[in-house]
Amino acid sequence: MDEIAEKSDFIRDIIREDLGKSKNTKKIYTRFPPEPNGYLHIGHAKAICLNFGIAEEFNGKCNLRFDDTNPTKEELEYVQSIKKDIKWLGFDWGQQEYYASDYFEKLFEFALILIKKGKAYVCDLSADEIRSYRGTLTSPGIQSPYRGRSIEENLLLFGQMRDGLFADGERVLRAKIDMSSPNLNMRDPIMYRILRSSHHRTGDKWCIYPTYDWAHGQSDSIENITYSICTLEFEDHRPLYDWFIEALGIHHPRQIEFARLNLTYTVMSKRVLLEMVEKKYVSGWDDPRMPTITGMRRRGYTPQAIRNFCQQIGVSKADSTIDMAFLEHFIREDLNKKTHRVMGVIKPLKVILDNYPAGAQEELDAINNPEDIEAGTRKVPFSKTLYIEQDDFMEDPHPKFYRLSVGREVRLRYAYFIRCTEVVKDKDGKIVEIHCSYDPLTKGGDAPDGRKVKATIHWVSAEHSLPAEVRLYANLFNNINPLKTEEGGNFKDNLNPDSLQTVKGCRLEPSLRGAKPGDTYQFERMGYFCVDPDSQNQETLIFNRTVTLKDDWAKIKTAG
Ligand code: ATP
Ligand code: MG
């Protein structure tokens, strides 16, 4: 599915309507506002495609803004990875790279304005007290005894907070709104806390830090954002953001919420993903099983496929969970068009062609990509000793098994018909090799006498083949919703112990010599595979299986 000319969804409809009202003079400004406290995941890709996509379509601009208000959880490594991943997805923020931390001074001034208007106060309650005074959804909160402080005292204390006169957590600045509001976010939310922690950009300049709720809306306003597009959980924060903006009398972006992306068998919570990395349930943020952009890149997913997926899922107000198979469908669709086909045997079984002359070899023509004739052909060497897939041979075939067994004939892709004559086993009864005869008249894959075979299998020439390791992946979790556990349980109870299977001793056709990390191929019949960075400077190529060839989603679609 290619990108269509005019995209439509409820957000774009709102924008078109606004544009109509303003006689199209309105400039569209969006932003993607990650918190640099982890790597981006496929859910972020949805938000990136949406914000950058809208800016592109409506001839506007999209800022990249790091909402870096929490120095204890944020790092430069995350900033760099976020930039790399957005670029890789194919989006460009140009010069508009911003940081909420660049607005710390401005936000401080805004806070002074609110204090002067009697709309903010310094509160000495402890964090626990603030929590218990806050009330619940069914009961109103209790006003802080410090709520009545004079403007002068608040200005003095807030200045002293900034100057470091108090210990961490000793005081906070709160908005003075409404302790009995049905919306808990409006019950005098915290704007500043005292926190002695070095910030990755401002160093030790500040010992008070704005909360996300205080920083976010004002940052959008400072940047003249017109559409502040965010996920549904911020719907309840909107009245607070509106209140701040109104109280300050500054530019008012329009906030629009959409449903976040959820995918089956995986998690999108950065907190959980971080724990998986830290506790080594995965090899890192770029583990190919992770739903992160960097993991997907390493796995062999393409930016185009991810963008196509994001476009097809669209945006809505209703929470839903998308089938992982749907994402994989787009990966296959894109790789099908782009990748060269090669032959690689994952679990080799040695085949000796008894009637093929010893020491002889020939070069057979193979098509690189039937979907793309311009991709041309290549030569594949053929000789007396080959490897085929163990699974393509059965000593006692069941009725539905049409591939090789003793006495039976199959086609070797791009080569000849072969017939199995004998099985050789070791003393334990394990098959070590099989013997076959080949029919020289069937070169290229057809018999002049018109006889048919029921299967075509892939192979490599033993002496010409290259060694490889492949990593086969299954879902990281066993449960459709990994966060759903028995009482007292945790996501790790749902980890799939078989999500990674490493297969060594694979053999590949020699055209793969020199393949580089990131190169992707279709191994005929076995799936799409991508060279892993671990291959660098190794004798043995290491491949990740990006995805199998079987398209469950296409099947679901026709079935249902
Ligand atoms: P956490 O996992 O800690 O909740 P977050 O999702 O809030 O992290 P941010 O860095 O704040 O992470 O996200 C940046 C932007 O990406 C936000 O605008 C957020 O709404 C959006 N976003 C995050 N997760 C998803 C998701 N699953 N689907 C769509 N958009 C998302
Ligand atoms: Mg967030």
Q: Which of 260, 292, 309 to mutate to test the pocket of ligand 1 (most atoms within 8 A of CB)?
A: 260
Residues with Cβ within 8 Å of residue 254, at least 6 apart in sequence:
14, 18, 226, 227, 228
Question: What is the percent of the chain with per-residue pLDDT over 90, rounded to a whole number?
Answer: 93
211 pLDDT tier (thresholds 50, 70, 90): very high
Question: What are the φ and ψ backbone dihedral angles of 319, each rounded to 5 degrees?
Answer: -65, 140
Average pLDDT for residues 17-38, to the nearest whole number? 92
| pTM of the complete model | 0.95
Residue type at 147?
A: R
For the chain, residues classed under CATH 2.40.240.10 are 270-340+473-559, 344-458
Mean pLDDT, range 428-457, rounded to an integer: 96
Ligand 1 site residues, Cβ closer than 6 angstroms: 33-35, 43-44, 46-47, 230-231, 260-261, 268-271
Q: Is the pLDDT of residue 554 over 80?
A: no
Output the pLDDT for position 557: 54
Which residues of the chain are in CATH 3.40.50.620 domains? 2-258
Is residue 491 a contact partner of residue 483, using CB atoms and an 8 Å limit?
yes
The mean pLDDT value of the chain amounts to 95
pLDDT per residue over 102-147, tens digit each? 999 999 999 999 999 999 999 999 999 999 999 999 999 999 999 9
Structure confidence at residue 420 (pLDDT):
98
Q: What is the largest CA-CA distance in the chain?
A: 102
Looking at residue 351, its amino acid is: V
Closest ligand to residue 49's CA: 1
Task: Give me the residue label for tokens 């938000």.
Answer: 47
Q: Is the pLDDT of residue 265 over 60?
A: yes
Confirm if 529 and 523 have CB atoms less than 8 A apart. Answer: yes
Which residues are known to be catalytic? Answer: 35, 260, 270
The residue ranking higher by pLDDT, 559 or 255, is 255
For residue 233, give the ligand nearest its CA: 1
Q: Are 369 and 453 in contact (CB under 8 A)?
A: no
Contact partners, residue 208, CB within 8 Å, separation at least 6: 161, 162, 173, 192, 193, 194, 195
**Closest C-alpha to 296, from 7, 29, 547:** 547
Q: Given a cut of 60, is residue 293 above it in pLDDT?
A: yes
Whether 556 has a pLDDT exceeding 70, the answer reads no
Which top CATH class is 2-258?
Answer: alpha beta
For the segment 274-285, the average pLDDT, to the nearest whole number, is 97
Distance of CA 169 to the CA centre of its chain: 36
Tell whether the torsion through CA atoms of 222, 227, 233 and 239 is positive or negative: positive
Residue range 506-526: mean pLDDT, rounded = 97
CB of 299 closer than 8 Å to CB of 273: no
* Model confidence band, residue 553 (pLDDT cutoffs 50, 70, 90): confident
**What pLDDT sits at residue 331?**
98
Name the closest ligand to CA 36.
1
Question: Is 444's pLDDT higher than 70?
Answer: yes
Structure tokens at 18: 């606004």
Query: Per-residue pLDDT averaged across 44-63, rounded?
Result: 97
pLDDT 10s digits, 347-366 = 999 999 999 999 999 999 99
Give CA–CA dist 152/482, Å, rounded.
52
**With 80 as the cut, is the pLDDT of residue 44 above it?**
yes
Question: Cα(71) to centroid of ligand 1, in Å?
Answer: 18
CB contact at 8 A, 543 and 529: yes
Least confident among 149-163, 206-220, 409-423, 535-549:
535-549
- Strand order across the 97-99 sheet: 29-32, 61-66, 97-99
Q: How far is the CA of 185 from the centre of ligand 2 (A)?
A: 16
Q: Is pLDDT above 50 for 71?
A: yes
Nearest CA to ligand 1 atom 3: 270
Q: Any idea what the Cα angle at residue 263 is, between residues 469 and 481, rounded to 5°?
A: 100
**Shortest-distance atom of ligand 1 to CA 260:** 28
Q: What CATH number should be reported for the domain whose range is 344-458?
A: 2.40.240.10
* Pair type for strands 261-263 and 320-322: parallel
Q: Is the pLDDT of residue 1 over 70?
A: no
Q: Output the CA 216–ligand 2 centroid distance in Å.
A: 10
Top-level class of domain 270-340+473-559: mainly beta
pLDDT at 29: 97
Residues 6+ apart with CB under 8 A from 278: none
Task: Give residues with Cβ within 8 angstroms of 527, minimum separation 6.
Answer: 545, 546, 547, 548, 549
